[in-house]
Structure 1
Amino acid sequence: YNVDGGAILFDDIDIRDIRLDSLRKQVGIVLQDSVLFTGTIRDNIVFGKPEASDDEVINAAKQANIHDFIMNLEKGYETEISDENNIFSVGQKQLLSIARTIITNPSLLILDEATSNVDTVTESRIQKAMDNVISGRTSFVIAHRLKTILDADHIVVLHQGEVIEQGNHDELMKAEG
């Protein structure tokens, strides 16, 4: 969407002054509902970086905590998947989506409710993967579960579209809001 008030700066440059394709290469997004494409598991991981090497694919899958599952499949990364042949649980699809984002190495990351559709055991695996992908980059984490954002540098609490509190976890707990 175009900015309709104020400005959004990316490394001190207004995003309206950055070519859209260049901006898109710098932003990674993991959404609440993961999407897998018909093709191999490898195809799904390299979607945003088709020229990725096998080592990059494996490294991304390891960081996303999905490599071991993939290696237990008969054809590993060459396993074909489709809507009819969906071998992944909801959580595993999310981990694959995180691997797809990791491999593109974005400067800015947006995680939109990335753990909302999974059980608590799977949430823990996804949280570890998210910690890997967040490390060393600016990240916007949209979450209803407090556990997802405990270590955030800055938390903005919204209610009906209005900012009602801000701070880190400790500051917000002390404010008793």
Structure 2
Amino acid sequence: MRRGLVNGLVHVLAWSLATGAAVTLSWWGVHTVMTGTAYDPPRALPIAAAGATAREATPPAPATPRPESSPSPSSTPRPTRSPSPAPTRTAATSPSPTTSASPSGQVKSYATDGGRVVLDLAPDYVTLVSATPGTGWAMQVWKTDSWLRVEFTKDTDKVSVICTWHDGAPRVDIGNY
């Protein structure tokens, strides 16, 4: 009886060690692969705050090529970039857009109490570039063929950025709706 108990404990111990070794080896392999393929955080557009001095935008760092294990027509390598400095956040009571040029139109940024919205305004349509809620705020986006709405909510506060282009050039309205 004692010999059967010892044999059972030896089998349980051997199984535990083998399982632990397999989990450790798997974790190490996945960790090694994922460390080499981590994605950089998205870059924010440079925004000038009211009264701040303008500074030149720094060009992105050159792309770092990644080794390709097997070429495939459906997968393309993605370059990595060095992270840009974190943008500063300012509360704006009467937001004024910050503008830069883009191939399809004008890129404008709108700062509100609830967050920041960046839109690419073309003559006959609008594309949402980014919407970043402020600390503690939640965000929701609606888009149709003729209007776009980004709403920031926090408790009972709501701030909306609404852009319409159904009857002409895009028009942006910001307010508490």
Structure with greater Cα Rg: 2
The TM-score, its normalising length taken from structure 2, stands at 0.22
The TM-score, its normalising length taken from structure 1, stands at 0.22
